[in-house]
Structure 1
Amino acid sequence: MSKKIVLAGGSGFLGKSLATFLTNKGYQVVILTRGKSGSSDGVTYVQWDGSKLGEWAAEIEDSYAVVNFTGKSVNCIYTKSNREEIVSSRLDSVRVLQEAIRTCINPPQAFVQAGSLAIFGDTREVCDESSPHGSGFSVDVCEQWEEAFFKVSFAKTRQVLLRIGFALGKDGGALEPLVKLTRLNLGGTVGSGKQYISWLHIDDLNEMFLQSIEDNRFEGIYHATGVNPVTNKEFMSTLRKVLGKGWAPPAPTPFVWLGAYAVMKTEPSLALTGRNCIPRRLQDHGFTFQYTNLEETLKDLV
């Protein structure tokens, strides 16, 4: 029987992409979801609530690895209730998965947590895994999240946390709204345009997850991002070029604030801040990137 990998909260864009990738590699994939239990495209879906033990915990027993994607999307307005849910959804899922692993007779050999580069706040300085953290709500969330994940250790289960960058994939994810805007001739520079985007192709991200699962050398925190971060100005210019669009009007900061709150119903800081991060530890492990050129990557995707 093929090895089983459990993707907690894996029904989103990144989780479904990894599920397809792992299935094609011959793994049995189970997604823990708030939706109904069932199966689709070779993937089994098991209902859970992400906060307390239930029948779903039986899926962790004898599994090869657990990957946790759970957490309320940060693509929202940071009201008091949304802030509380952003934090609780992350901490609760980490805690309850730790409980499930502790109850196993045959626990998974790897527990991989999807984290975020937002722990560095808004910075143009080059950041690797050892760089100082930033400040603000998103940073606080990431710090609590990472602390909770590493607070508990296991005798037989490696723990890996991937701080994921701006993952670019087809038909969804972070790239889709930018493509739509650019096709409407609205793909101009956002704000100052100097904020960095630490991007990577989703195929490379899936390979990072696979190596984190299979390679015993992987333990601790890694930056899951590409080797060539670019500024927002560079990114949007390249996207316009790939889509055959010329100059587009920039979106000054006041308009970004207005559009974010009034139209997109999200926090303007998501577009106006950035991080210049590199995958130092992955490079030390000899990880091979398939995609290092932004223009070639965007041509592949759009």
Structure 2
Amino acid sequence: MRADALTARTVQDVFPAIRDDIADLHTWRALPTEHVWMVDPFLFLNHHGRQVYPRNNRGLPFGPHPHRGFETVTFILEGDIAHRDSGGHESVIGAGGVQWMTAGSGLIHSETSSDVFKKNGGPMEILQLWVNLPARLKMTQPAYRGLQQEDIPQIADAGGALVHLVSGEWNGHRGPFTPLLDIVSMWFTLSAGQQFSLSIASQRAVFFYVIHGSVVVNGRTVDARHLATFADDGEQLHISASADAVILLCHAEPLDEPVVSHGPFVMNTHDEIRQAIADYQAGKFDG
């Protein structure tokens, strides 16, 4: 079917991210909030920064903590992240890079700033997205992969968008990450007046968050630090930038399964949550 014959998806609503600072880290939480709990299978998004750290700073405050039952995807727009986990993975990923971690059956990790960043300071902006795993994959083997900016394809669209393709297929290109689920994830930039269109099957859930700027998507304005939700009544998204904009866009099939969460654990039942806590306290996440 030709793109011009596709039906535009209806924008159901637009919700603001909620200011929720963590220590001295400026944080806006786009999901979950009192307005929207999840966009199945997307569970959580924290937008940290943009802020400028001084010299001799303490860096990011995320010391060792556990996860089970989902995946974390971290987009480093500015600054860096020093990652370590109980599976033996360790890296420092800089601006423009991405980390994809499968917590699966259980992993303890820390996300701090590199010694260089803590010494020199500088701008920092990071987004972390949590993606749920289905019951059949909750206890999968933990895994981690971090890629630098040069490993993430940057594709110029005819309408002027610059697409950073992280996973899945778009316009004949494939992202470097291969998630456990069929997830298309990207962030892209538009200058004021530029446009970008793409087709997404109507049964797939769309995660659409404006990081900077302002856009009109299918006739609805979405400003910076706002999340748009969509009906499943069409396949086409048409985006035009009212001001220079950066957008995070992901889509996937909904899992349509029960979700029970408790802090860093996301499972299907309360018993599984209790088991996760017991396993963590018994040291079973320690590799």
Quickly name the TM-score band, shorter chain normalised.
under 0.3
TM-score between the two structures when normalised by the length of structure 1: 0.24
TM-score between the two structures when normalised by the length of structure 2: 0.25
Structure with the larger strand share: 2
Structure with the larger helix share: 1
